[in-house]
Amino acid sequence: MTSKNNQHAFRLALLLGLFSTLGPFTIDMYLPAFPEIVKQFGTTASLVQLSLTACLLGLGIGQLVMGSLSDVYGRRNPLLISMAFYVVASLACAFSPNIGVLIAFRFVQGFSASAGIVISRAIARDLYSGHELTKFFSLLLLVGNLGPLVAPVTGSGILSFTTWIGVFIALAILGLYLLTMTKWKLQETLPSDRRRPSNFMEQLKNYGSLLRDRQFVGYMLAQGIMIAGVFAYVSGTPFIYQNIYGASPTVFALLFGSNGISLIIGSQVVGRMSHRVSEQAFLLFGLWLAFFASITVLVVAIVHGPLFALVIPLFFFVAAIGITSTAAFPLAMESQSQNAGSAAALLGVIPFLLGAVVSPLVGIAGENTAVPLGVIILLTSAAAMFAYFFLVRRGSRGVA
């Protein structure tokens, strides 16, 4: 790329990365306000938690729907409509009269936010391929991975001077900004001659053809299962660091943030080195790194080793997620130019589904042991390797 093209790519990655952060911001910003919402509505904690579940369902289902629609109608118009709905849904959440209305509009909010995640990735595939796609996707992840780090802090900051209503108003403002940027700064990247016909059965066939593509499924599962391990890490470490090792909330935040940085490092190494090292080599390296790191975590958990002995392998495990995600995405998308939206949707929704399965299992033995976390991330690492070797490597030999 020339210097001018590099600047354009960075600006575009920054914008698309903001769309990717819409999911984490929508999920995480209001979490510190749960007790306040319980008091205001005179409801139970479980019903307030149901509003989070509704949002996650919207994010998962929405990616499948919006990915297909973007293959039919192009990227820009579905994104414009979704951002408009996001603004309305955010304001409706802010002024909900009861918990039931809040739950309903949290689903709508998650559904509309999903368009930002899936369409931003489809746009990347429209514009780039090969190593250039890997480099661009690593830039996109550089911005997108900041969301889980910044969102809780931002939510806490807003709550320090206003109520939970202010969190949703802030999300509405973010949605309005993205709506404006889509209208005035984002050009259509899918020409009409490359769009899919507007037919529901045809869209189902598209998903069916993707799920019959052995290599695509292999990359999808390798990436999705690995990211599911991160969901286990996110749900388990608050209890492990604080309950077992007695870490203060500040120390926990620092440790959690350091692993967020490792995720960014992993993705950026792949982007910077993709012209020298193949994505296949990076993916294989990331899978092995995660496997050995998870073995170490399990051993430390069994012998109840010191905190630093647990933090170090977890740092490398999360870095491996950054490596595998950045390498697997362009490999999966490379042959999907005609189904980029649908392919990006499947790549996006699988981690949510698998994460929803493994996250509750971390606490299966109580809050005072780290063994379930070690077992789960070891199993996810092993399963991801199996998907890669059985579907991708074996499939390649079969074709050859």
- Please tell me whether residues 187 and 223 are part of one structural domain: no
* Residue indicated by tokens 């990211």: 227
> Quick one: pLDDT at residue 21?
86
Instruction: Tell me if 390 is assigned to some domain.
Output: yes
DSSP state of 240: I
- Please tell me whether residues 244 and 160 are part of one structural domain: no
- Please tell me whether residues 276 and 341 are part of one structural domain: yes
Per-residue exposure over 127-157, b if at least 16 CB sit within 10 Å of its own CB, e if not: ebbebbbbbbbbbbbbbbbbbbbbbbebbee
Query: What residues contact residue 212 under an 8 Å CB cut-off, 6+ apart?
Result: none
- Please tell me whether residues 189 and 264 are part of one structural domain: no
- Please tell me whether residues 220 and 190 are part of one structural domain: no
Give the model confidence (pLDDT) of 350-398 as tens digits: 887 787 677 667 767 666 788 988 999 999 999 999 999 999 877 555 4
- Please tell me whether residues 63 and 155 are part of one structural domain: yes
Instruction: Tell me if 48 is assigned to some domain.
Output: yes
Going by C-alpha positions, the residue among 333, 345, 346 that lies closest to residue 137 is 333
Going by C-alpha positions, the residue among 216, 214, 225, 227 that lies closest to residue 342 is 216
- Please tell me whether residues 31 and 130 are part of one structural domain: yes
- What residues make up the domain containing 273? 205-400
Taking 70 as the pLDDT cut, the residues of the chain under it are 1-6, 31, 145, 148-149, 152, 198-200, 235, 249-250, 253, 337-338, 356, 359-360, 363, 365-367, 395-400
Instruction: Tell me if 149 is assigned to some domain.
Output: yes
- Please tell me whether residues 222 and 186 are part of one structural domain: no
Read off the tokens for 371.
């063994």
Q: What is the CATH number of the domain that holds 257?
A: 1.20.1250.20
> Quick one: pLDDT at residue 155?
78
- Please tell me whether residues 265 and 355 are part of one structural domain: yes
- Please tell me whether residues 151 and 253 are part of one structural domain: no
Last residue of a domain, one of 195, 217, 232: 195
- Please tell me whether residues 189 and 254 are part of one structural domain: no
Instruction: Tell me if 200 is assigned to some domain.
Output: no
> Quick one: pLDDT at residue 179?
96
> Quick one: pLDDT at residue 246?
85
- For 270-329, the DSSP string reads HHHHTTTS-HHHHHHHHHHHHHHHHHHHHHHHHHT--HHHHHHHHHHHHHHHHHHHHHHH
Q: For the chain, how many residues are written? A: 400
- Please tell me whether residues 31 and 126 are part of one structural domain: yes
Total count of domains within the chain: 2
Nearest-10 Cα torsion for 375, 61, 168, 154 = 30
> Quick one: pLDDT at residue 400?
38
> Quick one: pLDDT at residue 92?
97
